[in-house]
Structure 1
Amino acid sequence: MNLFEAMKVFVKVTETGSLSGAARVLNLSNPSVTRHIADLEQYLGARLLNRSTRRLSLTDTGSAYLERCKQVLADLEQATLAAGMHAANPSGVLRINAPVSFSVNHLGRLLPLYAQRYPNVKLDVTLSDRIVDLVEEGFDLAIRIGKLQNSSLVMRKLAKAHVLTCAAPAYLERHGMPQHPDDLARHTCLTYAYTLPDNEWRLQRDGKVHTVRVGGGLHCNNGDLLMAAALAGMGVIRQPTFIIGDAIRDGRLRPILTDYHGDALAVHAVYPSRQHLSAKVRTFVDFLAQQFGEVPAWDRDLPI
């Protein structure tokens, strides 16, 4: 028995004054209405209605139960309306996990704009370059960059970024400009810990892939630190444009081997489920996709 459905039928019978009247209003058959009332009385172990050939009347128990039913159904309706409004209007805490360098360089400037547009959402952002378990660690969504592992997560592509090889002009003046990927083996290359394998750089031209084993005096798990070291003339880096784009545009870093390209990196939003997606997640993902645009700011005016 569906208790709430039976309660609704009981209230409607008392309002219309008959089983048939309740059946018409609720678009049910007469036997269905009769069964709901009988099941409810059996469940309660008490008679709710006195039946005669002409009319129905409430028992004392039925009269007391009717008032409780009306209150319960009214509370249920209010709860349903509130849940619907909450689902339609972004509110509550939005827990986000995102990569460190990407967030510091690009996500941080967008968060105030989102907060201004949706003031009822509180942003709780954790920066980490490790792959977190969204469900186990309680995140609503994550920003992930690069090739995603197969999983049950829902993913939406937000933008892309290119990976460029570059060095400071001072370094290139001392050590010369590489002309071929193989030349990188003779240069000081600063490597990133989360690139696997971290001592191999893959560049391609005209469909041919060149894999070069590189190494140098710095191996690090943060792209911003690698860029800072490259700016100081320490060596060659290969990093995404969302980190090095500004430094290339203003001449602090000079791209090398521009005829050779790597695969573009996809920037994704991932979240546990598409079903009953909350308004706070939906609006945040839509907002990021709109802000990044077809050609994101970090890729503009670069040799890609």
Structure 2
Amino acid sequence: MDLNAIWMFLKVAQTGSFTRAAKELGIPKSTVSKKIADLESSLQSTLLLRTTRSLQLTDAGKRYYDTCAKAFEDIKDAEAFTQAASSEPAGNIRVTATAEFARKVLSEIMQGFLTAYPNISVDLILTNQALDFVRDNIDVAVRAGQLKDSNLKARRVGATRFQLLASPSYLKAAPELNKPSDLSKHNCLVFTSLPNPSVWLLRSGSQSAKVKVQGRYMANSINAIKSMAASGAGIALLPTVFCKEEIARKELGIVLPNWASGEQALNLVYQNSPFIAPRVTAFLNYMQEELRVLLK
């Protein structure tokens, strides 16, 4: 049994490409191709269907992938269990978060973590997508909202509160805004990553308002929407944790401060495993403490 060949097969299946797999492994593409060909020969079964444009797992390949991926996860758990005997956390941690959260929040505390744990390195993957913990080899993810995958665990570190924001110049020239229904008269900047971007559900105590908004600009980036709002282009519904600097500089102000779009829990998410590597535990504990302070 060639474990290297199996590991290469898993990487090709995960990336969907011999080229990308070879790049991630840091070896020539020809080596990956030969190893997988030898693996298929030893198994007397075709694992991958190759064309000039695509790469697909055969039924046998899918079954082999599932079994081998689970086996490597068991090995990873065994490694974590063994490392738990060590008093000094060490090794690499793969963390995923959105680029905007990393720039505005994580960057403030990441250096402190690296200083506190000199034997740990961090590989930060920035994306708006929820990556697969097994396929993408993720240790910790920073995610908002409820946890849906029972194979994962979460530590709540705070919450993001969405409020209406606009620049003084926009409000000076725009129609009056005294209640949520007045938003229909305004140019609203739509953040398309929200579940229902064009319908803003606002609450104030026991009261609630559901407003269908319209505007000439929409984007899936908080920074893009925030920049347009600060330039006077309209009203935005954004998490205030990402807008503290602009609010402090009075480039943006909170509109209808008693109304907000509820809160989304912010969690540190990790695999539901009986053995957590000391480096991961150290990261979770440090970030939980620091983020709770920052997100107050």
Describe the SS at the equivalent of 1:195.
coil
Identity of aligned residues (%): 23
Shift, 1:149, TM fit? 2.8
Task: Report the equivalent of 2:288.
Answer: 289
Q: Do structure 1's residue 89 and structure 2's residue 84 form an aligned pair? A: no
Task: Report the equivalent of 1:186.
Answer: 185
Cα distance in 1 for partners of 2:222, 2:253 equals 17
CA RMSD of superposed structures (Å): 2.1
CA contact (8 A) 1:246 1:298 kept: no
Shift, 1:90, TM fit? 1.6
Q: Do structure 1's residue 257 and structure 2's residue 256 form an aligned pair? A: yes
Shift, 1:84, TM fit? 4.1
Task: Report the equivalent of 2:208.
Answer: 209
Task: Report the equivalent of 1:7.
Answer: none
**Partner deviation per Cα, 1:151-176 (whole Å, 9 max, x = no partner):** 32111101122111110000001104
Change (3 A) 1:148 1:234: farther
Task: Report the equivalent of 1:64.
Answer: none
Shift, 1:274, TM fit? 4.1
Task: Report the equivalent of 2:148.
Answer: 149
Amino acid at match of 1:178: L
CA contact (8 A) 2:159 2:295 kept: no
Cα distance in 1 for partners of 2:295, 2:214 equals 27
**Partner deviation per Cα, 1:93-120 (whole Å, 9 max, x = no partner):** 1000101211110101211111111111
Amino acid at match of 1:200: V
Give the alignment of 1:131-150 within 5 angstroms: 131-150=130-149
Shift, 1:85, TM fit? 5.8
Task: Report the equivalent of 1:130.
Answer: 129
Cα distance in 2 for partners of 1:93, 1:84 equals 13
Change (3 A) 1:276 1:210: same
* Moved segments of 4+, more than 6 Å: none
Task: Report the equivalent of 1:233.
Answer: 232
**Partner deviation per Cα, 1:186-206 (whole Å, 9 max, x = no partner):** 111111121011111110123
Amino acid at match of 1:164: Q
Amino acid at match of 1:161: T
Change (3 A) 1:136 1:84: closer
Aligned residues: 218
Change (3 A) 1:195 1:87: farther
Shift, 1:86, TM fit? 6.2
Amino acid at match of 1:198: P
Shift, 1:264, TM fit? 1.4
Give the alignment of 1:86-125 within 5 angstroms: 88-125=87-124
CA contact (8 A) 2:95 2:123 kept: yes
Structure 1 gap ranges (5+) = 1-78, 300-304
TM-score, length of structure 2 as denominator length: 0.69
Task: Report the equivalent of 1:246.
Answer: 245
CA contact (8 A) 2:83 2:278 kept: no
**Partner deviation per Cα, 1:67-87 (whole Å, 9 max, x = no partner):** xxxxxxxxxxxx99x934665
Task: Report the equivalent of 1:50.
Answer: none
Cα distance in 1 for partners of 2:129, 2:117 equals 29
Cα distance in 1 for partners of 2:149, 2:259 equals 29
Shift, 1:298, TM fit? 5.2
Deviates more, 1:111-120 or 1:246-255: 246-255
Change (3 A) 1:277 1:298: closer
CA contact (8 A) 1:102 1:242 kept: no
Give the alignment of 1:68-87 within 5 angstroms: 83-84=82-83
Task: Report the equivalent of 1:169.
Answer: 168
TM-score, length of structure 1 as denominator length: 0.67
Shift, 1:235, TM fit? 0.8
